[in-house]
Amino acid sequence: MREKIYITRKLPAGIVKKLEGNFYIDMWDQEEKAIPRDVLLDKVKDSQGLLCMLTETIDQEVLESAPNLKVISNMAVGYNNIDVEEATKRGIAVTNTPGVLTETTADLTFALLMATARRLVEASDYLREGQWKTWSPMQLTGMDIHGATLGIIGFGRIGQAVAKRAAGFGMNILYYNRSRKPEAERQTGAQFSELDDVLRESDFISILLPYSSEVHHLISAKELSLMKKTAILVNTARGGIVNEDALYDALKNENIWAAGLDVFEKEPVNPNNPLLKLPNVVTLPHIGSASIATRMKMAELAAENLHNALVGSGDVKRVN
């Protein structure tokens, strides 16, 4: 009997077809709606492989419902939606999709930085709402990007890719990371600094750390108080790294100038989240890797990880 794979979101037919030859495939058949929790718990009962998204919390309850599960393939780089420790105890491999989304996420990060600095969304709304009546010297003025100092918190693949883009704008680049990256420093001109120094000296702060319990609310009231009043915070990593209540206070009280957010602590974000009411916040619905080519590569890699782990041959991007 062929092993069963359950896929928690509708994927392109070409991706699924590559798995059908070796496995029995069952799949949640909707793109725009996440799989209900009760359906997920039922479907994993007899599954050997699970291909899931960030929208699914794969915790102890799910794992207890899946006695035959061998592999969890997450279609993302981050995997904080999965209880990796519990999976490891049960001998379940956990995989992710590193590398393929680096450049696309770096593009989005820099685009969000620029949109926030130059108030592009606010300016577009201003025009569309019929408020543009004349030109005036300080109308919708923003912050310069060229020649400014960018502080990058988290200097992995994406952080380094953002630094390369910043170098093209003549920015001064500081970074904070658990370990120094001498080769990346040579390639980008970035300088290593302690976290507090990066926060104090930067005009833009870009958060690109992987999420873990150790960095939960790494950026809170104290850290925000160190930033310049003209500084802009950009988060395209994970929402839980920033204390949203503290960020709201800092923005509302003009202790920092603006924020660009692609991620939130709870997703999808509640429309009543007070951050969405502020004019100096640019918000996006977690689209960091959302180019057609990159999402296809992510799906292909997630399927490849699942296939190779189950058949026991080929490369597997394991996280445990």
Contacts of residue 60, Cβ cutoff 8 Å, sequence gap at least 6: 83, 86
Burial 270-284 (b: 16+ CB within 10 A, else e): eeebebeeeebbbbb
Among 160, 34, 19, 104, CA closest to 297: 104
Largest CA distance in the chain: 73
Q: Which residues pair with 82 in a beta bridge?
A: 58
| Edge-to-edge strands, sheet with 71-74 | 24-27, 4-7, 49-52, 71-74, 93-95
From the candidates 9, 286, 295, 307, which is the catalytic residue?
286
From the candidates 178, 254, 267, 318, which is the catalytic residue?
267
**Torsion angles phi and psi, residue 167, rounded to 5:** -60, -35
Clarify whether 267 is annotated catalytic: yes
Clarify whether 286 is annotated catalytic: yes
Clarify whether 216 is annotated catalytic: no
DSSP E strands, 1-55: 4-7, 24-27, 49-52
Among 161, 178, 288, 171, CA closest to 235: 288
Indicate which residues carry an active-site annotation.
238, 267, 286
